[in-house]
A and B are shown apart, each in its own frame.
Chain A
């Protein structure tokens, strides 16, 4: 079955810096790759997603890239702000389910 690896597990940046989180997946049938942000005690919230027919997608300060050949995708956050501090999960969808990575705890320091 699908396996998603996510790195790093923790990431600490200064406000205004960029943050990059990387994920790899194993199942070439996966065709949908969402990123969720989860604040403490809250539900996962979708922040951006990308489908397998697209290599890059951007939404304001957030961008995601997908390399299908290498089976990896990345989240880029520019101009980080303290409110970006949270746990970020990548996921891959080989059919009708989401397989999540282990999460990255991002801390943005003022």
Chain B
């Protein structure tokens, strides 16, 4: 069964550095998402992406964040200048269509900012 994949599984970085988290959505899916989960807390929506554009973003997704689909398979989340509070698990998800449709989650990237 196809799955969303993410790399790396764990990223350690210094405060102020840029990081890029990578995701490969399920191949026939058209909608892509990023969520984050701070340790022990709930999953929080960051951004949704469709047709090479951001559909919606949350208050968390400020100017330090950007997303890109650089080719036909990858979907990336860039954090330009990491802060300590960016430490979290970042999940990529994808769905066939928008709205009332299952979102499939990747295994996550644990980001640790020192």
Contact = CB atoms under 8 A, between A and B. Distances in A.
Interface string B84-114: 0000000100000011111111111000000
B107 A95 contact: no
Given A43-B91, A43-B105, A46-B102, A96 B43 contact: no
Interface size bracket, B side: 20 to 34
Given A42-B107, A43-B105, A97-B56, A32 B99 contact: yes
A49 B45 CA distance: 18
B105 A45 contact: yes
Interface residues of A, number: 24
B74 to A, nearest CB: 18
B42 A95 contact: no
Contacts of A32: 99-101
Interface stretch (A13-21, A61-69, A99-107): A99-107
A96 B48 contact: yes
B98 A44 contact: no
Contact of B42 (A45, A49, A102): A102
Nearest to B100: A32
B42 A96 contact: no
Interface of A: 31-32, 34, 36, 42-46, 49, 51-52, 89, 91, 93, 95-103
